[in-house]
Structure 1
Amino acid sequence: MQSSNPEHFFETDADLEKKRRRAAKAGNKFGSPIALKSKILAAIPDPRLPSSRVFVAEASSVVRLVDIDNPEKPTTAYRGPTAPVCCIAVGGPNNNTLFAGSWDKSIWAWDITTRAVKKKYLGHSDFVKAVACAKVGGKHILISGGADKKIIVWDVETGLAMHTMQDTTVNMLSVQDLVVDNVASTPDEVVVISASSDPHIRRWKIQLEDWGLIDETATAPEVEVAGSTTAAAGRGAIREHETTVYRLALDGDDEFANLWTASGDGTAKCLSRARGFACEETLEHGGHVRAVAVTEQWVVTAGRDEDVKFWDRASGKLYCALQGHYDEVTALAVLGQRRICSVGIDGTVRAWPLDKAGLDAAVAEQTKPPEEEEEASKTQEGLLSPEEEAELAALMEDDSE
């Protein structure tokens, strides 16, 4: 008889301490958590109004639409995949198609309104890990990246693959993220930026009939580096990190928009468009940085250390670190001008303010002395439901055995 219960296997003191810490942290209400049924691997805002809804991809093979303003409202579920869903995007005609890449090697497409399955895109030979939507030559396209090291461009309407793109000049590993560069794109050519498990960031140009990998050495302007004049990028692909780049984010849609990255080397970086996407600023988050998001005032980072960190864009200084998640944070989604939400392996969706007063209040709440927190808990009806208290007690009891 086989078992998946970790308690049936050897666990180190560090493993046991991690379990105890997470169990003790699990009952917190920071960020007004909405608990779902499984690990959450991705999140994007619902582009339709109101801006309080977020699509989340779960390890339980489902995509859900969650309204953070109505936590008691049942979630809307999109079903079909037979394995964990790890990436999602919205696009197609009228922005009414939800796309999801799955570990079952396929991409599913649903009508957002009716939840009916529209198509299933088949072509990857391993996990689909990134999806993005665009339009080129009047045609709606879907761009996907997988653990099979391939980027496939699909005709949304027919479901047929138009192009299969790979980098043969540098060893390209599993694709982790894709973002469409609207600044560099034209109606007849889409530029998409990819991140992967190798440290390189690549830019691709896609046309209806052809595609190409942009040579950063040829396009980078000359800049002064260590007393000499050289190409800012200095390589066929962009390399500013030491290891896996998990996430990409552009900080605008104008000619000054820069590229932000999140990496397993513990940093988030700003790559300057004006300098050929050379590194202009580095934020030392620590641990594996799995997510980065940018607003007018903040750069927000999150990852394996479970904290959501807010950095002042003007100064580059850390403004605050908010606790709440009790396992790795996997994604961030900006919801309008007022809030950002975070999701993680702990299966919770949490919302955080974007104004300084709100962040200061959140920090004050998290730094209350224990006696104040205990007194406050008595006045907050329903801080923990009976079911949550029973679950937490069971977890604590198991960890003490």
Structure 2
Amino acid sequence: MQSSNQQNFFETDASQAKRLKKDLKSQNQSGNPIQLRSKINAAILDPAAPTSCIYAAASSGWVRRVDVDAEDNQSTTSIYSGPKAPLTSLCLGGAGNSILFAGCWDRSIWSWDVSTRRPLKNYVGHSDFVKAVTCSQLGDKHILISGGADKKIIVWDISTGARLHTLQDTVVAMLAVQDLVVDPAISTKDEVHLVSASSDPHIRRWKVSLESAEKIVEADPDAPGTIRHSILEHETSVYKLVFDNEGGGDDGEVDLWTSSADGTSKCLSRMKGFAAEETLEHGDYVRAVALVGAEWVVTAGRDEDLRVWDRASGKMVLEVEGHFDEVTDLVVLEGGKRVVSVSIDGTVRTWEVDRKGIEEMKKRQDEAREGGGEVKEEEEKKGDMLTAEEEAELAELMGDDD
């Protein structure tokens, strides 16, 4: 019989310390954790219950509808199953957002009827993992847009499953697509403006109609007389794109926020040709960024912690500990004061991100640090002391010098 317990295998001091730290953090009850017992790769808001419910996609191949205000053992209200491979991304679409879509490692997009949970079409066309999905509408036709590790973006007719367009960048080499978002400021009923992020640092813009689809190229604002084929403000992979609906709306001034493996989240100003206007130095891979009202920005990623930033000053006001593995997504609940985080640690956590909530989180963290101060000091003292064996060895060495 084989064991999967890491303690039964050889561990370096560093790996043992990391495991012990993770074990300790796993007991953290911050954010009222709901344990889903599988790595959670993505989450979206449920517009039917936007103050308390999300959909979460897991590596085990299911999607769960989670009520964050319910008790842990009653939090899952619906389960959407069928895939045998990890799910990477989620979106809602079709008439009245009646269909739930999930990108999958099996190279397809799964879909379910939201109300009955009955599996619907599988959209098959990518040759590698599907990493991102989003939905929109062209005229009377509801469309699904997917991006994959095969470096392709595919536009689908939801009702028939037919492929309408396939997009690839033939000028600036594009790697795996990481995120897709529809530009709410300039899309129309007949033309969708799409923005894509990928494993290369380039952010690309596309325009899609029923008749055609192409990449947007335009004059470079920094180099008059030249053409810009992409937005280049990061040094490496871009994971998440979020349009700032607080920043404008229908007047065309909606800015774009990004998160990247270069350790930053940036606000790209539309008025400046999507040049970086604000840079938040998170410090490690930033997998997700969320805009909480007009006051706060939340970033999270590989270092497991959430950081809350003051939008006006660009300064970090709080570092939130809670998760014990990489944070993969953030969802802002309706009302603009609560943020839900999901992680590959298998938990869903909810945070009050307003002035009162931030002050309370600061207070709890200060109390926790003070409470653990004596223990930490004692451990540091022990770390400076020699064991009996070490003292004997030292005495022997000193005796040799005589």
TM-score range, shorter chain: 0.7 to 0.9
What amino acid is the match of 2:352?
Answer: P
- Which residue of structure 2 aligns with residue 258 of structure 1? 255
- Which residue of structure 1 aligns with residue 385 of structure 2? none
| Deviations, residues 63-100 of structure 1 (Å, cap 9, x unaligned) | 00000011331511100111000100011111111000
Secondary structure of the residue aligned to 2:15 is helix
Determine if the alignment matches structure 1 residue 311 to structure 2 residue 309: yes
| Deviations, residues 40-59 of structure 1 (Å, cap 9, x unaligned) | 00011101125200100101
Distance of aligned partners of 1:369 and 1:62 in 2 relative to their CA distance in 1, 3 Å threshold:
closer
What amino acid is the match of 1:257?
Answer: V
- Which residue of structure 1 aligns with residue 322 of structure 2? 324
- Which residue of structure 2 aligns with residue 195 of structure 1? 197
Distance of aligned partners of 1:369 and 1:325 in 2 relative to their CA distance in 1, 3 Å threshold:
closer
- Tell me the C-alpha RMSD between the 2 structures: 2.0
Determine if the alignment matches structure 1 residue 243 to structure 2 residue 236: yes
Contact 2:217 2:227 in 1 (8 A): no
Secondary structure of the residue aligned to 1:98 is strand
- Which residue of structure 1 aligns with residue 36 of structure 2? 36
- Which residue of structure 2 aligns with residue 14 of structure 1? 14
Q: TM-score when scaled to structure 1?
A: 0.87
Residues 359-374 of structure 1 aligned to structure 2 (within 5 Å): 359-369=358-368, 372=371
Distance of aligned partners of 1:10 and 1:369 in 2 relative to their CA distance in 1, 3 Å threshold:
closer
What amino acid is the match of 1:239?
Answer: L
Question: Which of the residues 276, 285, 288 maps onto 1:288?
Answer: 285
Cα distance, 1:125 vs. partner? 0.8
Distance of aligned partners of 1:56 and 1:330 in 2 relative to their CA distance in 1, 3 Å threshold:
same
Contact 1:30 1:366 in 2 (8 A): no
Distance of aligned partners of 1:232 and 1:350 in 2 relative to their CA distance in 1, 3 Å threshold:
farther
What amino acid is the match of 1:363?
Answer: K
What amino acid is the match of 1:318?
Answer: M
Residues 1-400 of structure 1 aligned to structure 2 (within 5 Å): 11-71=11-71, 72-75=73-76, 76-216=78-218, 218=219, 220=220, 222=221, 230-231=223-224, 235-252=228-245, 253-254=249-250, 255-295=252-292, 296-337=294-335, 338-369=337-368, 372=371
Secondary structure of the residue aligned to 1:366 is helix
What amino acid is the match of 1:181?
Answer: D
* Counterpart-to-counterpart distance in 2, 1:363 and 1:10: 39
Secondary structure of the residue aligned to 1:15 is helix
Aligned residues: 365
* Counterpart-to-counterpart distance in 1, 2:65 and 2:270: 34
Cα distance, 1:367 vs. partner? 2.0
* Counterpart-to-counterpart distance in 1, 2:238 and 2:57: 20
Cα distance, 1:17 vs. partner? 1.5
Structure 2 unaligned runs (5+)?
Answer: 374-402
What amino acid is the match of 2:291?
Answer: V
* Counterpart-to-counterpart distance in 2, 1:233 and 1:26: 52
Cα distance, 1:16 vs. partner? 1.8
* Counterpart-to-counterpart distance in 2, 1:38 and 1:233: 49
* Counterpart-to-counterpart distance in 2, 1:362 and 1:356: 10
* Counterpart-to-counterpart distance in 2, 1:150 and 1:204: 13
Distance of aligned partners of 1:111 and 1:199 in 2 relative to their CA distance in 1, 3 Å threshold:
same
Secondary structure of the residue aligned to 1:94 is helix
Contact 1:131 1:178 in 2 (8 A): yes
Distance of aligned partners of 1:369 and 1:294 in 2 relative to their CA distance in 1, 3 Å threshold:
closer
Cα distance, 1:251 vs. partner? 0.5
Contact 2:33 2:348 in 1 (8 A): yes
Q: Which segment is superposed worse, 197-206 or 245-254? A: 245-254
Distance of aligned partners of 1:232 and 1:362 in 2 relative to their CA distance in 1, 3 Å threshold:
farther
* Counterpart-to-counterpart distance in 2, 1:214 and 1:200: 13
What amino acid is the match of 2:314?
Answer: G
